[in-house]
Structure 1
Amino acid sequence: MSVYTQLTDDQFAAFCQSFGVSFARAIPITQGVKNSNWFIQTTDDADGSHSYVFTLFEERPPSDIEKMAVILNQLAGKLPVAAPLPVMSSKNEDTQRYVMRYENKAITVVPCLSGTHPTRNSAVMCRDMGAALAVLHKTLQDLTPAEDYGVPLYPWAEVRDREMQYMPSDEAMLMSDIWQAYSDLPLDTLPQGLCHLDMFADNTLWDLQTGDERLTGLLDFTEVSVEHYVMDIAITINDFCTTWGNATEGESVDFDRHKMRAFLEGYESERPLSAAERRTLPIFLAKAAVIFWLLRLNVIHYNRTEGRTGDNIMVKNPDLMKRLAAYHWANVEKAQNTVFVLEHACYKDDDSNNDVEDFKLIGVFATLQKAQAAIEQLKDQSGFKEYPNGFHIDEYPIGQINWSQGF
């Protein structure tokens, strides 16, 4: 939440007055990468304290932020969220407004929540975070149709195509392979709904003072979109279950599978996962890391093209997400336990009941979808098109004898 747009104290005072807040001081918030944020100290606050967060949304249009306000009010009472304050002049209108505008950018003011951002996450915190995310998914199912409340998903494929031009070949291949594996999944069969899609630890607050870790705040609902629930799970797991080393520690990336199991246990205490969600989670973990790899590259791109500089601009290292993506992808590849063998037989008169006149082993593929795509590529070529019924795909487990008798 770097500060990109600068406002004067007079501007802060005028906007805060519109929300019924008496302005004394604005304190920049430099964590995060998307919007401009400040803590607002009011005339009633003691020195060093603040009651509100003032956000100027750099990219999302005001209509999207109005949707966010509805979502936060839906969650209020079930999860620790801060719903935006209403604009004072809208209280007598049919529909209350929660957004002011500055140069066609949205502004909201929300109450501060208690707690602090965690620097380390325990397994207990991961379990509680999993349960909270499941509650979020279930609660937002009441907003229908979901598409009316979620913002469009960002066109990450466009960012991928731009950035891959400048990547070393091994990095480009890693990104391409993960993207293809994700595209090959049976995505239409996976449950979806409104998802947060940015539930990193720095978007949560916790009471860590008492020794009894307690979730006290969920932040930054600007990215809520209709997406597969397992993607939201993967995004959150990737941050909560990874220990990110700082620069002096070599910026290490250590993923903790014990914490991931605790997270999933918490999630399923509120919403059980389907078999398909469990099966596809490893690829979603890799794809989620790729998305945030691209996000950080995209921030660097826009900072450069728009001349964003200064001490209040924070850039997160994209290489960390690349390494996490490589870690997950290695585990996906190790989890491969079946292959799909595509063959073609030329049966007399293209009838499988007749003798085989010719036979070809076409290839061995990691997924059924890739084998089917190969058929689409070959079926109109000479020879194959005369024998369209000759294609067949067999699934074989790796490392097993598939013919156990003599002949």
Structure 2
Amino acid sequence: MAVYTEVSVEQANALLAQLGLGPVLALQPISSGIENTNYFATTAEGEWVLTVFERLAHDQLPFYLQLMRHLARAGQPVPEPRANAQGELVHTLAGKPAALVNRLEGESLDAPDLHHCEQLGATLARMHLAVADFPLAQPNLRGLAWREATAPVVRPYLDADAGHLLDEEMAFQAHLHASAAYQELPCGAVHADLFRDNALFAGLPGRERLSGVFDFYFAGTDTFVYDLAVVLNDWCVDLDSGQLDLPRAEALLHAYSAERQPSGNELRLLPGLRRAAAQRFWLSRLADWHLPREASLLKPKPPLHFERVLRDAMARPWHPAA
């Protein structure tokens, strides 16, 4: 979470006072990520994550924050937003929308193993089940419409081969999303960005337990199998080659299926949705790389990785058995 908005201790104290919390004992900017400004805040009452939203408006935020509260109160390892005396979860800081959530224990993993993938798969399935009674809906803001709008903006920066790849994939995804099989896929509120750096594990090395899933600010209403595809493309992909690691993929899907059994239709369309997920993050990284925003500590991620993931998903589609 890059720092676009510098937050002073005085500003943080004013917000924390509204939330019934004591003064700030420590305020530390968080350098990872690229969308919002984030700080770790320490008070006598505990550890918190303060987020200042740089792109999302006040009226867009209730979906994300209500989803987090819904999942946390359903027993999922998700941070719960802190409300003010009026019960509001969206606050204002430096003239921008802001939120405060409790900081979960644990650390993210750079190299997840089979047992990490199993825990993540089971947790993802339980989150998909838990949103059955979540009343709010909001389109995935990085869905097909966003990809169709972004592709022509970044295409001039691509060489001929990559440009052809993008054109081919855009046509494929338009056809896939228009199909009757796609229209019948189960949907709900999904994370849509559950990379390995958005999950936390705590415990002794080799025996870690999943302690948290966070950063829901790309969440939206989408198919559950797309959410699964996003996870597979990060947790179960070799970072150097972009190739799918089958043992990790099988472990994650097996654990997911033990909690929520995907339909045959979901499994049949999983290869195409893996391509959709790879394309989405290729496009967003292309935009961040070639059209960056100014921010303190900003470190955009190279887009080539997800081009490799997309090419591998096309060349070696994984068709898991029902």
Q: How do residues 4-403 of structure 1 correspond to structure 2 at under 5 angstroms?
A: 4-21=4-21, 22-42=23-43, 44=44, 51-76=47-72, 77-87=74-84, 89-90=85-86, 96-102=87-93, 104-144=95-135, 146-147=136-137, 150-154=138-142, 155-185=146-176, 186=179, 187-209=182-204, 211-245=206-240, 252-303=241-292, 306=293, 308-310=294-296, 312-332=297-317
The Cα of 1:132 is off from its aligned counterpart by 0.9
Greater length-normalized contact order (CA 8 Å, ≥ 6 residues apart)? 2
For the residues of structure 1 that align with 2:133 and 2:289, how far apart are their CA atoms?
37
For the residues of structure 2 that align with 1:10 and 1:103, how far apart are their CA atoms?
11
The Cα of 1:219 is off from its aligned counterpart by 0.2
Does the C-alpha gap of structure 1 residues 309 and 51 become closer, same or farther in structure 2, counting only changes over 3 Å? closer
Which structure shows the higher helix fraction? 2
Does the C-alpha gap of structure 1 residues 302 and 24 become closer, same or farther in structure 2, counting only changes over 3 Å? farther
Kept in 1, the 8 Å contact 2:81–2:89? The answer is yes
TM-score normalised according to structure 1 size: 0.72
The Cα of 1:24 is off from its aligned counterpart by 2.2
- Size of the aligned set, in residue pairs, is 310
User: Partner amino acid for 2:280?
Assistant: I
Bigger-Rg structure (1/2) = 1
Kept in 2, the 8 Å contact 1:116–1:208? The answer is no
The Cα of 1:6 is off from its aligned counterpart by 1.0
* RMSD value, Cα: 2.0
SS at match of 2:115: helix
For the residues of structure 2 that align with 1:133 and 1:16, how far apart are their CA atoms?
32
TM-score normalised according to structure 2 size: 0.90
How many percent identity over aligned positions? 28
Which runs of 4 or more aligned residues in structure 1 lie more than 6 Å from their structure 2 counterparts after TM superposition? Answer: none
SS at match of 2:238: strand
Kept in 2, the 8 Å contact 1:241–1:256? The answer is yes
User: Partner amino acid for 2:50?
Assistant: F
The Cα of 1:15 is off from its aligned counterpart by 1.5
CA displacement, residues 212-242 of structure 1 (integer Å, 9 cap, x when unaligned): 2211001011122111111111101111112
SS at match of 2:194: coil
The Cα of 1:179 is off from its aligned counterpart by 2.5
Kept in 2, the 8 Å contact 1:62–1:104? The answer is no
SS at match of 1:280: helix
Structure 2 residue ranges without an equivalent (≥5): none
SS at match of 2:259: coil
The Cα of 1:152 is off from its aligned counterpart by 4.7
Structure 1 residue ranges without an equivalent (≥5): 91-95, 246-251, 336-407
